[in-house]
Structure 1
Amino acid sequence: MTISLILGGARSGKSAHAERLAAASAKQVAYIATAQAHDIEMAERIGVHRQRRDASWTTVEEALALGDAIRRWSSPERIVLVDCLTVWLSNLLFSEQRDYPEVGRIIPPDSFHRERQSLLDALRDAAGEVILVSNEVGLGIVPQGAISRWFVDEAGRLNQAVAAISDRAVFIAAGLPMLLKGKPC
Structure 2
Amino acid sequence: MIRLILGGDKSGKSDFGLQRLYEGTMPSLLLATGRAQDFSFGQQILDHRLARNPEIPVKETGIELPRLLEKSILEYQSILIDSLDFWVFACNKQWEQAQDAFLHTLSLVPEKTQVTIVSCEAGLGPIAASSQVRQFIRRLGALNQAVAAVSDEVCLMIAGIPLYVKKA
The answer to whether the superposition gives a TM-score over 0.5 is yes
- Residue of 115, 130, 140 corresponding to 1:155: 140
Task: Tell me if structure 2 keeps the 8 A contact 1:70–1:126.
Answer: no
Answering whether residue 106 of structure 2 is matched by residue 123 of structure 1, we say yes
Mapped partners of 2:164, 2:56: distance in 1: 26
* Aligned equivalent of 1:96: none
**Once the 2 structures are TM-superposed, how far is the Cα of residue 71 of structure 1 from its aligned partner?**
0.6
Question: Which of the two has greater helix per residue?
Answer: 2
Residue 160 of structure 1 aligns to which amino acid in structure 2?
A: Q
The structure-2 alpha-carbon separation of the partners of 1:150 and 1:19, relative to structure 1 and needing over 3 Å to count, comes to: same
Task: Tell me if structure 1 keeps the 8 A contact 2:24–2:114.
Answer: no
Mapped partners of 1:155, 1:112: distance in 2: 11
- The TM-score normalised by the length of structure 2 is 0.95
Mapped partners of 2:165, 2:26: distance in 1: 25
Larger Rg: 1
Aligned residues: 166
The structure-2 alpha-carbon separation of the partners of 1:171 and 1:133, relative to structure 1 and needing over 3 Å to count, comes to: same
Mapped partners of 1:182, 1:7: distance in 2: 14
**Once the 2 structures are TM-superposed, how far is the Cα of residue 137 of structure 1 from its aligned partner?**
2.0
Instruction: Show structure 1 runs of 5+ residues with no match.
Output: 94-108
Residue 41 of structure 2 aligns to which amino acid in structure 1?
A: M
Any residues of structure 2 matched to 1:123-142 within 5 Å, and which?
123-127=106-110, 128-142=113-127
Query: Which whole-Å deviations, capped at 9, do the CAs of 1:119-148 have from their partners, x for residues lacking one?
Result: 101111013211000001211111111111
Task: Tell me if structure 2 keeps the 8 A contact 1:76–1:129.
Answer: no
- The TM-score normalised by the length of structure 1 is 0.86
- Identity in percent: 30
